[in-house]
């Protein structure tokens, strides 16, 4: 029996998408908010504000298409280098998003989670994160994961520290450590690795995002800045993914 509902199958067909070739986990590096604003003679914050609309549309469409997990790179650990006024705006925008989208999260049966270090985030933001995580914990639909104050290298450092504590406690021998141990120590221990990594604004780099997890992800880059990312762009990425042959280091059978 298909895991997709009839209305989902109909929507996939209209978009030219094969349910059997759909990625389970899509991760997106949302880039180009500032560039989008600059091109229009607007303040950078207007790009961030418009970017929220793209987040809303992308989350909604991924739910409708039956994507299992969507991970969005919202705020990197390197973003703290930005001007304080912009940081204040970003944190206020994040808090507002968490509050305003809570009803939609529950209506769409979304499981909400975040990855990244909590240290440094405002208490008001942490409070809203925790509320959304708690009330959506028993939902059974798409998992929406926001990477906030996240960096791939710091995640690996935190994972190594966790394994080191196990070694010190005598519950793990250094010679016993395998890839599985490190994977289980990451923030994403309970999540599938991304099948598709999308980057906007034409940049050809992964920017310290999910460095361990994207080892075999398919990469797709669009010139569109994030505020211009919409349903049609998402569909193009998914159709291109469906045409690719994933070998995971092996040969074609």
Calpha distance 20→206 (Å, rounded): 27
Largest CA distance in the chain: 60
Above 90 in pLDDT, residue 2? no
Check residue 139 and give its pLDDT: 98
Q: Go through the domains of the chain in sequence order and give each one's CATH number.
A: 6-151+195-201+208-243 (3.40.1180.10)
Cα–Cα distance measured from residue 124 to residue 95, given in angstroms and rounded to the nearest whole number = 7
CB atoms < 10 A from the CB of 45, how many? 18
Tokens (6 digits) for 9:
């199958």
Give the model's pLDDT for residue 1: 47
Check residue 4 and report its DSSP letter.
S
Residues 124, 157, 83: CA angle, nearest 5 degrees: 45
Global pTM value: 0.95
pLDDT at 245: 85
- Catalytic, out of 18, 31, 158, 232: 31
Lowest mean pLDDT among 64-73, 206-215, 242-251: 242-251
Residue of 7, 18, 33, 79 with catalytic role:
79
Give the confidence band of 246 by pLDDT, cuts at 50, 70, 90.
confident
Percentage of the chain lying above the pLDDT 70 cut: 96
Give the H/E segment covering residue 218: strand 218-221
Per residue in 35-53, pLDDT (tens digit) is 999 999 999 999 999 999 9
Percent of the chain with pLDDT over 90: 94
User: Which tokens sit at 177?
Assistant: 């450590």
Give the integer Cα–Cα distance in Å for 151 and 75.
9
Please give the mean pLDDT across all residues of the chain: 95
Structure tokens at 63: 């739910």
Identify the DSSP state of 199: E
Q: How much is the pLDDT for 206?
A: 97
Interval 137-154 mean pLDDT: 98
DSSP state of 237: H
pLDDT of the residue at 253: 54
> End-to-end alpha-carbon separation of the chain, Å?
26
Token pair 């998408």: residue: 17
Tens digits of residue pLDDT in 72-119:
999 999 999 999 999 999 999 999 999 999 999 999 999 999 999 999
Catalytic residue list contains 79: yes
- Burial (CB < 10 A; 0-12, 13-18, 19+), residue 203, is middle
- Give dist(CA 39, CA 225) in Å, integer: 11
| pLDDT attached to residue 3 | 74
**Does 184 participate in catalysis according to the annotation?**
no
């Amino acid at each position: 029996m298909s895991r997709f509902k009839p209305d989902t199958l109909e929507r996939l067909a209209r978009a030219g998408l094969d349910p059997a070739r759909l990625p389970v986990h899509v991760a997106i590096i949302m880039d180009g908010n500032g560039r989008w604003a600059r091109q229009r003679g607007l303040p950078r914050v207007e790009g961030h504000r418009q970017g929220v609309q793209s987040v809303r549309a992308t989350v909604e469409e991924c739910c409708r298409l039956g994507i299992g997990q969507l991970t969005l790179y919202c705020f990197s650990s390197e973003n703290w280098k930005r001007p304080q006024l912009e940081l204040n705006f970003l944190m206020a925008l994040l808090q507002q998003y968490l509050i305003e989208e809570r009803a939609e999260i529950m209506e769409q049966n979304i499981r909400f989670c975040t990855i990244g270090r909590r240290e440094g985030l405002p208490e008001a933001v942490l409070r809203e994160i925790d509320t959304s995580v708690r009330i959506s914990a028993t939902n059974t639909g798409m998992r929406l994961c926001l990477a906030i104050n996240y960096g791939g290298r710091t995640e690996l450092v935190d994972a190594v520290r966790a394994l080191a504590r196990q070694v010190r406690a005598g519950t793990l021998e250094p010679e016993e450590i395998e890839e599985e141990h490190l994977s289980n120590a990451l923030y994403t221990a309970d999540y599938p690795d991304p099948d598709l990594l999308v980057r906007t604004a034409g940049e050809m780099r992964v920017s310290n995002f999910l460095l361990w997890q994207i080892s075999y992800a398919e990469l797709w880059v669009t010139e569109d800045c994030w505020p211009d990312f919409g349903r049609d762009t998402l569909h193009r990425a998914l159709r291109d993914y469906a045409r690719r042959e994933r070998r995971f280091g092996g040969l074609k059978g």
